[in-house]
């Protein structure tokens, strides 16, 4: 199906049906998921799917509808529903669709090879990564290994003359295992996701990492409730950074629901904290040429040495704030309205080595796993469940689990006192290891 | 990846229902949806004769799915239309309408599952999906499918005011009433967000055992979020109601009442102080606190991880796992409840399943595959988010049976600790059994009394620990609606009476 032609036709149809402005968002995806366990296939799932989301404006009021049926009749009915809904909602002068702005292409977003690799090879990869993870004798069970791939084509068009498309691919391979000893059970999971098939990490590395995460947690010892340093592993950085990103969401700021709403250009965090968002990184899993409304994405510094430098906006929130969209409209597919999100977030690395940080920690928690909601973007509160390793006199002494950690943005972020140099830029939230000088830890 | 998440926060792509049917007290609606859903052979089928023709088509698809081998195959056809209206900052910011349809074909061969789906429901596409799904069954055991035949089952969903006769202006009015009630509650209420959702899901299930069953489930979900701000503190509170129901839900529980409950929490929590940290006793108020049990015990009792030999309750059937006061049930037949399903998405009759009785493990929750693997009966817990997913064991309405204590006595008998009144949500690792949940409204317990409100703390524990430490269960069972995420979404309720748990780890920031 020629989606560009279809989108163009639907824009015209929207106008004839009574919409002042129409936006058409089409997504078509093909995906494959293979899951194996104990050396044999557990599930194979394949899909080829797509749909259309319509956003229309009638006298400044907005309606949205979506369907996954491309028949002419269904498309017209769905469009009509959006127009009917627009007659119901409140007119708002900030409801506008974006102009057609030129964007630059981003290299390395689509790999035709993924689809060309035979199914048997993908099954074999899942089997192999599982075999690597099961090698260690402390590993007693497999939770399963998988290979997944997805290709997606997105079209954004609107009645301001915009008609854009981009295509992407991604694939991943991962495995989960269980380490057992007496009545103890610990799980470990590792995966590698990339835009290009040939960039996937070695299956041996992935398998060994999953196994290590499981067995290294054996024989945890509880510690007492106390205040001590907490060292955040890169895998748990989201627990702190996620709340900051939510708090600089331009819409949340406008609603007065952000702990950072009044802090622009102020120092609110440690000078070691510099946070960037780069939508244009080559082969980045969060990269894209334009956002969910067709606005070109950017490379931006959000926090510079602890000073708040930017909020992030889609078109609506930007209009309301009296600024330009920052290219941060995000959509969870054709069924969703544009919200606000980031692309490839990087917490810039520092100069310390991980060993420096451990060595300089008299007593503390090396945090490997965290549960809970992270920093609450409304008021900055922080509380989570925690596991990892206990550190005494610069050395890891034993695993810990079932702990809690807590604080607030105001007490945690200014107290980041060491930033390591280990960073994996393949992640959409890339961060090095860093240390918070002191946090409340709940234990026995 | 092992994590399951009982999310309470923002609700991405939630779709809810409209329209009731079957044993409706006032109305039984038979919309033409199902007739044009299955247009096998490329022509839209008419009701009656057409459905018979559809059955022959489904027989052909099932036969195709089992052509290479395999001991079970099914076809799941779904049509859903959904509506969402959002009111924020006293304006109707957006209205969303969605139509989604498709069909999935599954083949089970030994422990293997093959699955493929199509969004354009034609015989040709179903045959192609059957072929892809049959990939796993090569060299598998062969069975002869039984021709499908209609099965009728009792519905536990009744509708008095079907949503298809409700004008959108009435929905808008309900939302305005909630918004106004929230803002009028106190001048420190700064913002309300009213999120109205309804949907109707129609499903047809046919399988190689000869089953053909169909129904429609309406679902209504109404969420108010209210933010307070006194210039010093800020709190986002939430209250939700949801049932498989028509618009009469708002007569049982008015929009004003829902909004005021959220506003009350928002104001009460402005006074919150830092929570203490470390191990202490916890009293959980009745209602949505059932999330604790949903996470800590419910997920680990889903049979998929048991069949894999890795679940926390593996090998514990018939053993004493909890205190005598602890009885836990999953019941997909409680009239109109959000987790009620009539029959699961594999066509198995929903039922009341006692999981733990007086501390003894009595049953796991199974789907067809895990029941086969463990040689257990099918409990009616095979559920799926949509045709894009194959079924897995899931909860429905899960709760702790009421006990003999009164909530007042339990509190008075607890010298110190934390009183948890509402939760944001939680999650569990079903293998290790380590779980957590985050409080939204909580208080200190001092000398057997609820005193100072404390900021949202995460509480952690292990499933075996928590059920052996529940030492008091009150007589005030109540439920709350939830969205459970285990790789795919499911609508559920979690219920519990007021309970006391000895020694949980509280994630406060005060030493």
Assign B325 a pLDDT band (cuts: 50, 70, 90): very high
Residues of B in contact with A185 (CB under 8 A): 310, 312, 431-433
pLDDT of B1 over the 70 cut: no
Q: Give the model confidence (pLDDT) of B245-260 as tens digits.
A: 999 999 999 999 999 9
Verify whether the Cβ–Cβ distance A402 to B99 is below 8 Å.
no
- Please tell me the least confidently modeled range out of A362-371, B305-314, B499-508: B305-314
In angstroms, the separation between the Cα of residue B184 and the nearest Cα of chain A is: 18
What does the pLDDT read at residue B431? Answer: 86
pLDDT in tens, A10-69: 999 999 999 999 999 999 999 999 999 999 999 999 888 899 999 999 999 999 999 999
pLDDT value at residue B163: 84
pLDDT digits (tens, 9 = 90+) for B424-441: 888 888 888 899 999 999
Q: Which of helix, strand or coil describes residue A408?
A: strand
Is B72 near chain A, with CB under 8 Å? no
Please determine, for residue B33, whether its predicted confidence score (pLDDT) is greater than 90.
no
What would the mean pLDDT of A196-222 be, rounded to a whole number? 97
Give the model's pLDDT for residue A380: 96
Give chain A's domain count. 2
Domain check: are A132 and A18 in the same one?
A: yes
CA A14 to chain B, closest CA, distance in angstroms equals 16
Interchain CB contact of A94 with B (< 8 Å): no
> Is B458 within 8 Å of chain A by CB?
yes
Q: Read off the tokens for A330.
A: 């995000």
Asked if A74's CB is within 8 angstroms of B278's CB, the reply is no
A255 vs B191: CB contact, 8 Å cut-off? yes
* Domain of residue A94, CATH code: 3.30.2290.10
CB pairs under 8 A between A and B: 254
CB contact under 8 A, B111 and A42: yes
List CB contacts (< 8 A) between B424 and chain A. 373
Structural domains in chain B, sorted by start: 17-268 (3.30.2290.10), 278-507 (no CATH)
Contacts of B99 in chain A (CB under 8 A): 65-69, 74, 77-78
Does A186 contact B432 at a Cβ distance shorter than 8 Å? yes
pLDDT on residue B141: 79
Residues A317 and A341 in one domain: yes
Distance from CA of A69 to the nearest CA of B (A): 7
Question: Does residue A362 share a domain with residue A277?
Answer: yes
**Domain termination residue (choose one: A215, A248, A276):** A215
**Domain co-membership, A22 together with A170:** yes
Same domain, A11 and A158: yes
pLDDT at B321: 93
Supply the pLDDT for residue B252. 94
Any chain A CB within 8 A of the CB of B179? Answer: no
Which of A336-345, B25-34, B355-364 has the least mean pLDDT? B25-34
Answer with the residue of higher pLDDT: A252 or B511.
Answer: A252
The predicted pLDDT at position B16 comes to 21
A39 to chain B, any CB pair closer than 8 A? The answer is: no
Is pLDDT above 50 for B13?
no
A37 min Cα distance to partner chain B (Å)? 9
* Dihedral sign for Cα atoms in the order B1, B3, B4, B10: negative
Q: Do A403 and B460 touch (CB under 8 A)?
A: yes
Q: Last residue of some domain: A185, A215, A245? A: A215
- Rounded to a whole number of angstroms, the distance from the CA of A107 to the nearest CA of chain B is 30
Nearest C-alpha of chain A: how many angstroms from B280?
Answer: 9
- Are residues A181 and A315 both part of a single domain? no
In this complex, the residue of B116, B117, B511 whose CB is nearest that of residue A225 is B511
Nearest chain B CA: its distance from A437 CA (Å) = 14
User: Which of A215, A241, A263 corresponds to the end of one domain?
Assistant: A215
Question: Which among A46, A225, A337 has CB closest to B278?
Answer: A225
Helix (H, G, I), strand (E, B) or coil at B493: strand
**B480-507 mean pLDDT:** 94
pLDDT of B50 strictly over 80: no
**Which of A70, A255, A401 is facing B434, going by the closest CB pair?**
A401
User: How does pLDDT run across A330-372, given as a tens digit for each residue?
Assistant: 999 999 999 999 999 999 999 999 999 999 999 999 999 999 9
Q: Which candidate, A6, A379, A86, places its Cα nearest to that of B85?
A: A86
**Minimum CA–CA partner of A40 in chain B:** B112
Kindly state whether residues A166 and A98 are assigned to the same domain. yes
Same domain, A398 and A303: yes
Same domain, A211 and A224: no
Q: What is the mean pLDDT of chain A?
A: 96
Whether residue A237 sits in one domain with residue A210: no
Interface contact flag, B236 A407, Cβ < 8 Å: no
Q: Tell me: the pLDDT tens digits for A145-179?
A: 999 999 999 999 999 999 999 999 999 999 999 99
Structural domain range at position A101: 3-215
Q: Give the DSSP letter string of A247-287.
A: HTBHHHHHTT--TTTT-TTSB-S-TT--EEEETT-TT-TT-
Predicted pLDDT of residue B426: 87
Is residue A211 domain-shared with residue A265, that is, in the same domain?
no
Nearest CA to A160 out of A312, A8, A362, A368 is that of: A8
A150 and A40 in a common domain: yes
Question: Sorting pLDDT into bands at 50, 70 and 90, what band is B296?
Answer: confident
């Amino acid at each position: 199906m020629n989606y560009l032609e279809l989108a163009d036709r639907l824009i015209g149809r929207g106008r004839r049906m009574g919409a002042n402005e129409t936006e058409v968002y089409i997504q078509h995806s093909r995906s494959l998921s293979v899951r194996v366990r104990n050396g044999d296939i557990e599930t194979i799932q394949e899909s080829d799917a797509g749909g259309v989301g319509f956003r229309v404006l009638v006298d400044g009021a907005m309606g949205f509808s979506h369907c996954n049926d491309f028949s002419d009749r269904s498309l017209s009915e769905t469009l009509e529903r959006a127009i009917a809904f627009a007659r119901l909602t409140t007119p708002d002068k900030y409801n506008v669709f974006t102009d057609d702005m030129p964007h630059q292409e981003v290299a390395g977003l689509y790999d035709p090879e993924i689809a060309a690799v035979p199914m048997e090879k993908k099954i074999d990869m899942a089997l192999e990564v599982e075999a690597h993870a099961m090698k260690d004798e402390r590993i007693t069970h497999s939770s399963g290994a998988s290979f997944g791939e997805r290709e997606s084509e997105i079209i954004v068009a609107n009645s301001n003359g915009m008609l854009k498309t981009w295509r992407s691919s991604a694939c991943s391979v991962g495995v989960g295992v269980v380490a057992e000893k007496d009545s103890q059970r610990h799980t470990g999971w590792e995966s590698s996701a990339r835009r290009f098939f040939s960039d996937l990490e070695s299956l041996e590395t992935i398998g060994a990492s999953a196994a290590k995460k499981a067995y290294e947690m054996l024989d945890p010892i509880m510690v007492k409730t106390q205040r001590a340093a907490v060292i955040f592993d890169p895998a748990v950085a989201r627990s702190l950074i996620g709340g900051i990103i939510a708090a600089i969401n331009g819409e949340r700021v406008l609603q007065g629901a952000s702990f950072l709403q009044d802090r622009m250009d102020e120092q609110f965090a440690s000078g070691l904290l510099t946070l960037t968002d780069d939508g244009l990184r080559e082969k980045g899993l969060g990269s894209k040429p334009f956002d969910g409304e067709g606005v070109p994405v950017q490379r931006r510094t959000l926090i510079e040495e602890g000073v708040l430098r930017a909020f992030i906006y889609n078109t609506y929130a930007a209009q309301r704030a009296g600024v330009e969209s920052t290219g941060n409209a995000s959509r969870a597919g054709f069924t969703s309205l544009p919200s606000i999100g980031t692309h490839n977030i990087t917490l810039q690395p520092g100069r310390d080595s991980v060993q420096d940080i451990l060595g300089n920690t008299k007593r503390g928690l090396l945090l490997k796993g965290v549960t809970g909601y992270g920093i609450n973007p409304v008021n900055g509160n922080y509380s989570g469940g925690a596991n990892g390793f206990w550190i005494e006199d610069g050395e890891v002494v034993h695993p810990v689990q079932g702990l809690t950690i807590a604080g607030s943005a105001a007490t945690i972020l200014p107290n980041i006192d060491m930033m390591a140099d280990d960073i994996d830029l393949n992640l959409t939230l890339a961060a090095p290891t860093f240390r918070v000088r002191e946090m409340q830890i709940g234990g026995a | 990846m092992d994590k399951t998440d009982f999310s309470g926060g923002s609700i991405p792509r939630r779709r809810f229902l409209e329209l009731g049917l079957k044993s409706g007290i006032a109305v039984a609606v038979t919309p033409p949806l199902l007739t044009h859903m299955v247009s096998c052979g490329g022509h839209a089928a008419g009701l009656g004769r057409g459905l018979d023709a559809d059955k022959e088509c489904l027989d052909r698809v099932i036969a195709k799915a089992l052509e290479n081998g395999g001991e079970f195959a099914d076809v799941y056809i779904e049509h859903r239309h959904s509506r969402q209206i959002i009111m924020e900052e006293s304006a109707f910011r957006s209205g969303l309408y969605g139509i989604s349809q498709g069909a999935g074909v599954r083949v089970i061969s030994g422990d293997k599952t093959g699955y493929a789906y199509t969004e354009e429901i034609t015989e040709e596409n179903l045959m192609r999906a059957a072929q892809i799904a049959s990939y796993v069954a090569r060299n598998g055991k062969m069975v002869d499918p039984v021709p499908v035949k209609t099965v009728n089952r009792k519905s536990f969903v009744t509708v008095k005011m079907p949503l298809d006769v409700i004008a959108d202006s009435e929905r808008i009015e309900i939302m305005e009433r909630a918004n106004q009630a929230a803002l009028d509650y106190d001048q420190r209420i700064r913002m309300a967000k009213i999120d109205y959702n309804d949907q109707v899901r129609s499903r047809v299930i046919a399988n190689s055992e000869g089953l053909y069953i169909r129904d429609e489930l309406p679902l209504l979900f109404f969420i108010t979020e209210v933010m307070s701000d006194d210039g010093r503190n800020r709190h986002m509170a939430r209250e939700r109601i949801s049932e498989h129901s028509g618009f009469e839900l708002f007569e049982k529980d008015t929009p004003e009442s829902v909004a005021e409950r959220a506003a009350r929490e928002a104001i009460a929590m402005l006074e919150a102080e830092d929570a203490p940290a470390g191990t202490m006793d916890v009293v959980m108020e009745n209602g949505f606190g059932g999330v604790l049990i949903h996470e800590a015990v419910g997920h680990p009792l889903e049979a998929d991880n048991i069949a894999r030999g890795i679940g926390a309750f593996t090998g514990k059937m018939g053993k004493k796992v909890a205190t005598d006061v602890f009885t836990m049930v999953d019941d997909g037949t409680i009239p109109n409840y959000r987790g009620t399903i009539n029959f699961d998405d594999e066509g198995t009759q929903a039922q009341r399943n006692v999981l733990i009785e007086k501390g003894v493990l009595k049953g796991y929750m199974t789907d067809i595959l895990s029941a086969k693997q463990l040689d257990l009966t099918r409990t009616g817990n095979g559920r799926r988010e949509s045709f894009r997913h194959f079924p897995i064991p899931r909860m429905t309405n899960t709760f702790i049976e009421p006990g003999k204590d009164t909530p007042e006595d339990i509190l008075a008998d607890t010298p110190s600790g934390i009183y948890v009144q509402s939760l944001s949500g939680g999650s569990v690792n079903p293998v290790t059994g380590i779980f957590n949940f985050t409080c939204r409204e909580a208080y200190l317990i001092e000398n057997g009394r609820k005193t100072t409100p404390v900021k949202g703390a995460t509480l952690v524990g292990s499933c075996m620990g928590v059920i052996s430490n529940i030492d008091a269960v009150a007589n005030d069972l109540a439920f709350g609606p939830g969205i459970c995420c285990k790789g795919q979404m499911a609508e559920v309720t979690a219920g519990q009476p007021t309970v006391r748990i000895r020694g949980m780890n509280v994630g406060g920031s005060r030493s």
